[in-house]
C-alpha cells in the first residue's frame, strides 16, 4: 500500500505530556500553496485548539502549512490559559519553520479539564522538525492514539491521465464517539491540485457518509476535527480532468474515509461486535436516522449484543421510542442479518430462538429495519457495550 503523499512530511517526537518515553507529538508539514479544509466539533465546549484551528484556517484563507497534534491532554475546559498554550505552540512552530503563525493549526486529544503547558510541546518541537519525512505516516498514526488499541491508516492511488494521484489518511478514536461532523481526529492528504471551495465540497460529502455515520457511545467530543489538504504536487488538477477522473477521485476519497471511520468502530473501547444498523422504507432520511441512532445508542440493545442475546424486544422498544409520528407498528419488519424476527407488530411465525442466536453469534452483524413508510434509508455503524468499556472509562484518569 502506497502511503507517501507528495508535498506532505510528518515528524514525530516525545513531549512527555502524559507519560515519558512515548510518542505523543506529531507535526505535519504541507507544501507551500496547499489548500486546507476542515470540519470541527459541534460541542459547545470546544477545546482551545479547535477554536484556534478554526480561526487560523479562516485567517490563512485555507492555506495552512503545518498541523500540530498532541496526545495525552485535550486542552479542553482550560479557559484562557489553554487558549494561550495553543497560541504559544503555534507561534513556536512558525518561528522554527519560518512561516506565519496563522499557517499553523493545533489539535489535541486526551483528558479533558487538565491544564496543558506549552513548554513540553515547545521543547519537543525541534525533534519533530528534525524528524520530518514523507514516509512517517505509520509512526504518526501510532503517535496520535489514546485509548485506541491500534492505528487507523488508509491509502488510495488513483490513475488520472496516465499519472498517479495518492490519497492517504489517518484517524484516532475509540470512545466518546458520535462525531456530528467528523471523528475524534482525522487527517487526510492528497497530492492532487484542488481548489479550496471544491475540496470543501468533496470532503464534506465524504465525511457525511463515513465519520458522521459512526457512534460508539453517543458522546460528541470537545475536540473532534477532520482535516484534509491538497498539495497539488502531483501536477494533476482534478477539476480540469473531466467527469471520469473526478468520479474516480471522489470514490477513492469516500472509500478511504469510510475505511477509517469503520476502523474506529472496530476498535471501539471494549468492543466485541461491529454492528451495522440499516433502516429502510422511511418517509425521509431524518426519520431513518432517528430509528438507527436510537437503536445504536440503546444501552439495553448494546449489552444484548455483547451477550449475543437475540433479545428482539429491546429492538422493537427502541424503534417505538424513536419519535416517529403516526408509526404503524404492524408495518414494521425487523431482521438480524437475513433472519426475519418480527413482522406485523409481533414475532415472525417462522422465527426460532436458535435462528436468532446463530445470527447474533458472529463478531459482525447487521440489524435491519423496514419501516414501509417511504423510499428513504440510512446506515449507522456501532458497537456493543462490554465489561471492558466500563473498565476503560472508569479507569481513564487513573
**DSSP labels, 21-35:** SS--EEEEEE-TT-E
Whether 89 contacts 120, CB under 8 Å: no
CA distances from 79 to 85, 89, 293 (A): 10, 16, 32
b/e code 177-195 from CB counts within 10 Å (16+ = b): bbbebbbbbbbbbbbbbbe
Q: Of 390, 247, 196, give the one whose Cα is nearest residue 306.
A: 390
Which set of grid coordinates corresponds to residue 25? Answer: 507529538
What's the CA angle centered on 143, arms 142 and 148, to 5 degrees?
60
Characterize the bridge pairing of strands 364-370 and 339-343. unpaired
255 backbone dihedrals φ, ψ, rounded to 5°:
-70, -35
Which set of grid coordinates corresponds to residue 43? Answer: 460541542
Which set of grid coordinates corresponds to residue 51? Answer: 477554536
Question: Where do runs of H (alpha helix) occur along 131-217?
Answer: 137-143, 196-208
Active-site residue (options: 102, 168, 183, 215): 183
As a whole number of angstroms, the distance between CA 38 and CA 28 comes to 15
Whether 393 contacts 175, CB under 8 Å: yes
Residue 287: CB partners within 8 Å, gap ≥ 6? 322, 324, 371, 373, 376
As a whole number of angstroms, the distance between CA 263 and CA 265 comes to 5
As a whole number of angstroms, the distance between CA 156 and CA 169 comes to 9
Which set of grid coordinates corresponds to residue 349? Answer: 411465525
As a whole number of angstroms, the distance between CA 165 and CA 159 comes to 6
Please indicate whether residue 183 is annotated as part of the active site: yes
What is the helix, strand, coil percentage profile of the chain, to 5? 35, 25, 35
197 backbone dihedrals φ, ψ, rounded to 5°:
-65, -45
Active site residues: 183
Amino acid at each position: 500500500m502506497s502511503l507517501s503523499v507528495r508535498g506532505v512530511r510528518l515528524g514525530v517526537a516525545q513531549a512527555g505530556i502524559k507519560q515519558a518515553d512515548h510518542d505523543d507529538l506529531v507535526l505535519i508539514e504541507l507544501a507551500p500553496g496547499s489548500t486546507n479544509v476542515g470540519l470541527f466539533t459541534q460541542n459547545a465546549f470546544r477545546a482551545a485548539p479547535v477554536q484556534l484551528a478554526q480561526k487560523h484556517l479562516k485567517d490563512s484563507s485555507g492555506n495552512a502549512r503545518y498541523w500540530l497534534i498532541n496526545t495525552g491532554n485535550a486542552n479542553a475546559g482550560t479557559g484562557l490559559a489553554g487558549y494561550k498554550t495553543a497560541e504559544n505552540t503555534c507561534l513556536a512552530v512558525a518561528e522554527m519553520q519560518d512561516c506565519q503563525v496563522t499557517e499553523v493549526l493545533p489539535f489535541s486529544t486526551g483528558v479533558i479539564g487538565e491544564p496543558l503547558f506549552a513548554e513540553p510541546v515547545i521543547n519537543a518541537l525541534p525533534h519533530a522538525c528534525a524528524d520530518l519525512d514523507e514516509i512517517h505516516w505509520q509512526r504518526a498514526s501510532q503517535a496520535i492514539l489514546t485509548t485506541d488499541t491500534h492505528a487507523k491508516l488508509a491509502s488510495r492511488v488513483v490513475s488520472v491521465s496516465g499519472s498517479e494521484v495518492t490519497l492517504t489518511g489517518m484517524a484516532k478514536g475509540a470512545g466518546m464517539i458520535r462525531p456530528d461532523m467528523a471523528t475524534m481526529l482525522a487527517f487526510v492528504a492528497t497530492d492532487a491540485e484542488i481548489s479550496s471551495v471544491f475540496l470543501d465540497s468533496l470532503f464534506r460529502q465524504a465525511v457525511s457518509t463515513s465519520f458522521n455515520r459512526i457512534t460508539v457511545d453517543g458522546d460528541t467530543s470537545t475536540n473532534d476535527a477532520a482535516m484534509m489538504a491538497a498539495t497539488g504536487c502531483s501536477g494533476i488538477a482534478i477539476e480540469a480532468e473531466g467527469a471520469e477522473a473526478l468520479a474516480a477521485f471522489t470514490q477513492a476519497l469516500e472509500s478511504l474515509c469510510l475505511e477509517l471511520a469503520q476502523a474506529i468502530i472496530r476498535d471501539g473501547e471494549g468492543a466485541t461486535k461491529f454492528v451495522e444498523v440499516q433502516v429502510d422504507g422511511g418517509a425521509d432520511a431524518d426519520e431513518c436516522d432517528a430509528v438507527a441512532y436510537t437503536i445504536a445508542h440503546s444501552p439495553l440493545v448494546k449489552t444484548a449484543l455483547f451477550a449475543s442475546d437475540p433479545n428482539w424486544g429491546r429492538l422493537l422498544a427502541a424503534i417505538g421510542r424513536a419519535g416517529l409520528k403516526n408509526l404503524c407498528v404492524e408495518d414494521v419488519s425487523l431482521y438480524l442479518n437475513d433472519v426475519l424476527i418480527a413482522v406485523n407488530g409481533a414475532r415472525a411465525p417462522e422465527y426460532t430462538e436458535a435462528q436468532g442466536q446463530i445470527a447474533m453469534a458472529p463478531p459482525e452483524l447487521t440489524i435491519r429495519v423496514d419501516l414501509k413508510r417511504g423510499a428513504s434509508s440510512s446506515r449507522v455503524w456501532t458497537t456493543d457495550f462490554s465489561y471492558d468499556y466500563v473498565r476503560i472509562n472508569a479507569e481513564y484518569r487513573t
